[in-house]
Amino acid sequence: MTINIGKSGVNDNVIEEIKRQLKANEIVKLKFAKNIARDKDTYIAEIVEKTRCKLIDVRGHVAVIYKKKP
């Protein structure tokens, strides 16, 4: 599953959607829009903290996160 993160960045709705997708899929790709890509490290840190997932890989504008199903 891929979640696109646009120019509005990361907000509560995006965090909730990421949590839902992690619960369903374990592995989720986050694709950052080019105009916010320079801030992606900050956004990734926020996402990892709020969803308690693990960052697997970052390539270009795409990050891959993982959370084991309970």
Confidence bin at 47 (pLDDT 50/70/90): very high
**Assigned CATH topology for domain 2-66:** Translation Initiation Factor IF3 (3.30.110)
Segments of the chain assigned E as strands: 2-5, 27-32, 54-59, 62-66
The partner residues of 62 in beta bridges, in order of sequence, read 31, 59
Instruction: Express each pLDDT in 6-41 by its tens digit.
Output: 988 999 999 999 999 999 999 999 999 999 988 999
Q: Are the CB atoms for 65 and 47 separated by under 8 Å?
A: yes
**Which residues neighbour 53 within 8 Å (Cβ) at sequence distance 6 or greater?**
18, 22, 28, 47, 65, 66, 67
pLDDT for position 15 = 96
